[in-house]
Amino acid sequence: MNIQYGCVTMRALERKDMAMLLAILNDPDVENMMAGWSFPMSEENQMKWFEHFDPNKELRCMIDVVNGATIGTIGLVDIDWKNRKAELFYKVVNDIEKRVKGDVNDATMGILAYAFDELNMHCITGLTLEKNIFSQKMLKKCGFTQEGVLRKRIYKKGEYWNQVNYSILKEEFEEKRATEAGIEK
């Protein structure tokens, strides 16, 4: 089953997507804006990861846009089925020619709709570096609320960065979706 929302379609990861994901993972500009860190990834290690990927533990989708390009990946990790919560993640290409206005917003709204409507999640969190203004604006636009700042949690290029914590509850998402659809609650 594909997830369609606005200008994007989210679909399952396939072997053919591994080269693109490898390029995103090894892009220093993308890595510099993400929390955490990673070593350079080899094609062999990427394929090992893919072969052992467990879709029951995390939801990962590829993002295809209306112009036919695949722009990255989005999904839910750290899924807690008892407490009905998970963390949103996404990584997209820097190639502006592949991108479509609103693509990451639509992908986020689509994954939230799936999380709340199909998986019955209660809360989705999103963590971003304080310097990643794009992600902060996108999360707010999608209805997330800033919960706090985790001080100097991420070390990048010789300096510590704050991490900003956001979340959205199921009822908040439903209210946002109704407002966007012009439905009074």
Confidence check: pLDDT of 65 > 80: yes
The mean of the pLDDT values for the chain is 91
Q: Give the model confidence (pLDDT) of 83-107 as tens digits.
A: 999 999 999 988 878 888 999 999 9
What is the percent of the chain with per-residue pLDDT over 90, rounded to a whole number?
66
Residue 85 sits at φ, ψ, to 5 deg, of: -140, 160
Those residues with Cβ within 8 angstroms of residue 130's Cβ, 6 or more apart along the chain or in another chain: 136, 149, 161, 162, 163, 164
Confidence check: pLDDT of 185 > 60: no
Structural domain boundaries in the chain: 3-180
CA distance linking residue 147 with residue 66, whole number of Å = 34
Architecture (CATH level 2) of domain 3-180? 3-Layer(aba) Sandwich (3.40)
Confidence check: pLDDT of 36 > 70: no
For the whole model, what pTM was predicted?
0.91
Q: What is residue 37's predicted lDDT score, i.e. its pLDDT?
A: 61
Give the ranges where 34-167 is alpha helix by DSSP (H).
43-52, 103-117, 133-141
Give the ranges where 76-169 is alpha helix by DSSP (H).
103-117, 133-141
Q: What is residue 34's predicted lDDT score, i.e. its pLDDT?
A: 78
Confidence check: pLDDT of 17 > 80: yes
Confidence check: pLDDT of 126 > 90: yes
Confidence check: pLDDT of 67 > 90: no
Q: Give the model confidence (pLDDT) of 150-164 as tens digits.
A: 999 999 888 999 999
Residues 125/87, Cβ–Cβ less than 8 Å: yes
> What SS3 state is found at 16?
helix
CA distance linking residue 142 with residue 167, whole number of Å = 10
CA distance linking residue 67 with residue 75, whole number of Å = 21
